[in-house]
Copies of this chain bind each other. A is one copy, B any other.
Amino acid sequence: MRSITSADVARESGVSRTTVSYVLNDTAGVTISPATRVRVRETAQRLGYTPSAAARALRTGRSDLVLAVLPDWPLGPSLDTLLEHLAATLAERDLSLLVHHSRSRRSLSELWRAVTPRAVVGFTAFSPAERAAMERAGIQVLGTMLEADPTQPGSFSVSQREVGRRQARHLVERGHRRLGYAAPTDPRLADFHDRRLTGVAEECAERGLPEPLVVAVELEVASAGAAVRTWRAAAPPVTAVAAYNDDVALAVLAGARAAGAAVPQELAVVGVDDVPAARLASPPLTTVWQSLAEQAHHLGVTVLAALDGEPAPPRPADLLEVVVRSST
């Protein structure tokens, strides 16, 4: 079954393909009689005409795709949400999301060369060379969630350092003077973890508190129990723990239970993410919540602005919030 082309629409409405293109694209600086406009639009509608993305991309040198490059590590429970909102925002401009999992690192450069996306959104860091190559090809490159300075152009999202600072600040305001940090064991999480930990450490330093005592904890009771004993045996003892995320925090809770440490009296715990299990834990988990929807929307709007050559829109203010429950 041959698909409908602009030539079909042109023939059916008795005009040239040029006119069809002008009308359907609302091309500026060209005058077409209202009657013709209406006729062309109606014909296109009636025939179910959709312009070929391939032809358009070939002609213009640029596709209507935005390439999202995902890391090979789990981005968290709400990557789903993030991509959905991002896609929704981009769809307003008829842009679609092509996802690439950086698992197969080698083919990324082939992919962007082949599809000539309008923009590339990296959820993982690009090498400077790759970034430069993409920019030279006229592709807008949006930075990673790991940028040192999230306010710089071409980057987005909440600073991971700020996440850590919020955790620490909450704990310190609760009166704790010696903090622990529960790190994930998955090495692929190292980049995120480093930045969050830096935030915790900075907050401690500014308040004149000792460095946080970092212990890696696996997502099981035995490992977490050992971690809890380590913290409590320290001198001075750790009385509050900031965990990499809710999963790790839940492990610490389980470890405290196993080690016979009362939460929050003997050990306070704060996570990150506010997964559903957080409020259901015993005791319910205090955690730092991030507005993924807003972050994703902001990201989408940033991409759009970049395509228009406009400055990045200001980042929304309260993307982070401490949800206080009984674990602190």
**What residues of chain A have their CB less than 8 Å away from a CB belonging to chain B?**
1, 3, 48, 50-55, 57-58, 63-65, 70, 72, 74-75, 77, 79-81, 83-84, 87-88, 91, 94, 96-101, 103-104, 107, 109-111, 113-116, 136-138, 219-221, 224, 246-247, 250-251, 253-254, 257, 275-277, 279-282, 284
Chain B nearest Cβ from A113, distance in angstroms: 4
Tell me if B96 and A96 are in contact (CB < 8 A).
no
Q: How far is the CA of A109 from the CA of B50 in the complex (A)?
A: 9
Tell me if B113 and A99 are in contact (CB < 8 A).
no
Contact flag A279-B58 (CB < 8 Å), given A52-B114, A83-B99? no
Tell me if B110 and A100 are in contact (CB < 8 A).
no
Tell me if B136 and A1 are in contact (CB < 8 A).
yes
Where chain A touches its partner, the secondary structure class is helix
Q: Which of B75, B79, B99 contacts A87 (CB 8 A)?
A: B99
Tell me if A54 and B116 are in contact (CB < 8 A).
yes
Q: Which of B107, B110, B219 contacts A276 (CB 8 A)?
A: B219
Tell me if A97 and B96 are in contact (CB < 8 A).
no
Task: Count this chain's copies in the assembly.
Answer: 2
Q: Which residues of B contact A257 (CB under 8 A)?
A: 282
Contact flag A254-B276 (CB < 8 Å), given A50-B110, A77-B77, A80-B75? no
Q: Which of B1, B51, B276 contacts A114 (CB 8 A)?
A: B51
Chain B nearest Cβ from A9, distance in angstroms: 14
Chain B nearest Cβ from A259, distance in angstroms: 13
Q: Which residues of B contact A280 (CB under 8 A)?
A: 219-221, 224, 247, 250-251, 253-254
Tell me if A254 and B282 are in contact (CB < 8 A).
yes
Q: Which residues of B contact A88 (CB under 8 A)?
A: 101, 103-104
When C-beta atoms are compared, the residue in chain B nearest to A87 turns out to be B101
Q: How far is the CA of A234 from the CA of B96 in the complex (A)?
A: 51
Q: Which residues of B contact A48 (CB under 8 A)?
A: 113
Q: Which residues of B contact A247 (CB under 8 A)?
A: 276-277, 280
Chain B nearest Cβ from A6, distance in angstroms: 13
Contact flag A3-B87 (CB < 8 Å), given A98-B96, A113-B50? no
Q: How far is the CA of A138 from the CA of B104 in the complex (A)?
A: 29
Q: Which of B3, B57, B281 contacts A54 (CB 8 A)?
A: B57
Chain B nearest Cβ from A213, distance in angstroms: 21
Q: How far is the CA of A91 from the CA of B110 in the complex (A)?
A: 12
Chain B nearest Cβ from A261, distance in angstroms: 14
When C-beta atoms are compared, the residue in chain B nearest to A94 turns out to be B107
Tell me if B115 and A96 are in contact (CB < 8 A).
yes
Tell me if B100 and A3 are in contact (CB < 8 A).
no
Tell me if B279 and A282 are in contact (CB < 8 A).
no
Q: Which residues of B contact A221 (CB under 8 A)?
A: 279-280, 284
When C-beta atoms are compared, the residue in chain B nearest to A63 turns out to be B54
Chain B nearest Cβ from A168, distance in angstroms: 23
Q: Which residues of B contact A51 (CB under 8 A)?
A: 114
Q: How far is the CA of A96 from the CA of B58 in the complex (A)?
A: 18
Q: Which of B83, B111, B275 contacts A277 (CB 8 A)?
A: B275
Q: Which residues of B contact A107 (CB under 8 A)?
A: 91, 94
